[in-house]
Structure 1
Amino acid sequence: MQQLKQSSAHITLLPDPSEDRRANHRTRTVFRVARAQVHHEEGLVYIRNISDSGMKLGIGMPVVLNDLVRVWLSETISIEGRVVWENEAECGLQFAKEIDSVAVLRLTAEQIRSGETRAPRLSTDLPAVVTSEHGMRSARIRDVSQRGMKIAHDGSFAPGLAVKILLESGIERRGFVRWVRDELAGISLTELFSVDELRIVHTLGSGTYNG
């Protein structure tokens, strides 16, 4: 098996020359949401499957052949690959160097179980209307994930407060306040965002959404 080298920024996989490479191209089916970056654009993708030499992604962001795409499987583990095929909904990446895909999946699963990593999130700056027992308030969404969001508010939020959040796109979600730090609050959603909805929220916040 390959050895894992971890730093505060990322984890690098170091090949073991004695490793038996006969199973290098075995593909492992995965259905996991991850954060990805191509050029300077970020978005969320579905990892369909992964092998030691590449992965198949379900995408909602434009890519072309030979684009370099970096995929974060967790906050500390990322892999970069080059687009070798693509269609409107999916693409295939080939890694520059082979990895130990079993070790990567095992390590990210352990991070999730232990709470060491959060759900992939995207930075944004988007106005919203929040309704609670205090009435309607204007707020701004600072980042968003499938399960929650961070909101800048007027100071009236407290942990446990039930809220309904309406975005300018018409997307609406209910949730409750998990934590408050000064005028920032973490919201846990009772209904998850889809990857397509997150793409809309993210592009609205960056000013690039055109419907």
Structure 2
Amino acid sequence: MLHTEHNQEARSVSQGDAGTEPRDRAARTVTLFLLGRLRTDRGDGICRIRNVSSGGMQIETFSPLKVGQRVEVAARNESPVRGHVAWASGTTAGIKFSAPIDSRSLLRPPVLPLARNVSIRAPRFATRTRAVLTIEGKRHDVRVFDISPGGVRLGTSAALPQGSECHLAIPGLPRCHGTIRWADEDSAGIFFTEKLGFASLAPWLDDQAVRFAEDDSAQ
């Protein structure tokens, strides 16, 4: 999650609020700045959830959606909500849910017993592509297995020192600085010092040829 504003009544937009519910009947809308996973018949990608009510949400996407298109949207650790595109204007769309939800649940992190918060992770996306990892001037050819705005999971035969600072060059994305969060004999997790922005990650995920450049060799 990048940022969540204080709960407030959402401002009216040209195409209406979340979904298509009339303002006098809709459960009160809350304004968000939340990243989510969007799944359509074309596959999955990242979206921005801009506001949500019990009956629908307004999202921003990289590729325009079509009215009537079936979608699933998942945020944080929540199960996906299903619906269809009620209206679309450029890369902004209103999603009408198949069934009403508790919109406040999108603002509350899940909680374990004894008040221990569950880790709230940004959506992760499967990928199969190569990259170059640099640690203290030494380059390692690696494979990227999944990616999120905040980090990646790599496949590598090199012994990577946990806690080391590094740079990662993934074709099509800005060069990322990060820290090796964990490592075992054939894989590692890297936490980015600065998260990848929506404007960089969204088109990269949408480009299947780049995102899955190594798919054939992985089978």
TM range (shorter): 0.7 to 0.9
Among 192, 195, 211, the alignment partner of 1:205 is 211
- 1:73 counterpart residue number: 75
Q: Does 1:191 align with 2:194?
A: yes
Find runs of 4+ consecutive structure 1 residues off by over 4 angstroms. none
Q: Which amino acid aligns with 2:60?
A: G
Q: Does 1:135 align with 2:138?
A: yes
Partner SS state of residue 133, structure 2: strand
User: How many residues are aligned here?
Assistant: 184
Partner SS state of residue 196, structure 2: coil
- 2:168 counterpart residue number: 165
The CA RMSD over aligned residues, in Å, is: 2.1
Pick closer, same or farther for the CA change 1:179–1:197 going to 2, 3 Å: same
1:13-52 matches, within 5 Å, as 24-52=26-54
Contact (CA 8 Å) 1:31, 1:46: kept in 2 or not?
A: yes
Partner SS state of residue 181, structure 2: strand
Q: Which amino acid aligns with 1:63?
A: L
Shift of 1:110: 4.8
Partner SS state of residue 204, structure 2: helix
Partner SS state of residue 86, structure 2: strand
Q: Which amino acid aligns with 2:101?
A: I
Pick closer, same or farther for the CA change 1:46–1:109 going to 2, 3 Å: farther
- 2:19 counterpart residue number: none
Partner SS state of residue 65, structure 2: coil
Contact (CA 8 Å) 1:141, 1:151: kept in 2 or not?
A: yes
Identity of aligned residues (%): 26
Counterpart-to-counterpart distance in 1, 2:203 and 2:146:
13
Shift of 1:197: 1.6
Q: Which ranges of structure 1 fall in alignment gaps of 5 or more residues?
A: 1-21
- 1:57 counterpart residue number: 59
Structure 1 range deviating more: 194-203 or 47-56: 194-203
Contact (CA 8 Å) 1:38, 1:63: kept in 2 or not?
A: no
Partner SS state of residue 66, structure 2: coil
Q: Which ranges of structure 2 fall in alignment gaps of 5 or more residues?
A: 1-23, 214-219
Render the CA deviation track for 1:120-159: whole Å, top value 9, x for unaligned.
1111011111111260111111111111111111222121
TM-score (norm 1): 0.79
Pick closer, same or farther for the CA change 1:187–1:105 going to 2, 3 Å: same
Partner SS state of residue 143, structure 1: strand
Partner SS state of residue 43, structure 1: strand
TM-score (norm 2): 0.77
Counterpart-to-counterpart distance in 2, 1:187 and 1:78:
26
Pick closer, same or farther for the CA change 1:40–1:163 going to 2, 3 Å: same
Among 79, 98, 101, the alignment partner of 1:99 is 101
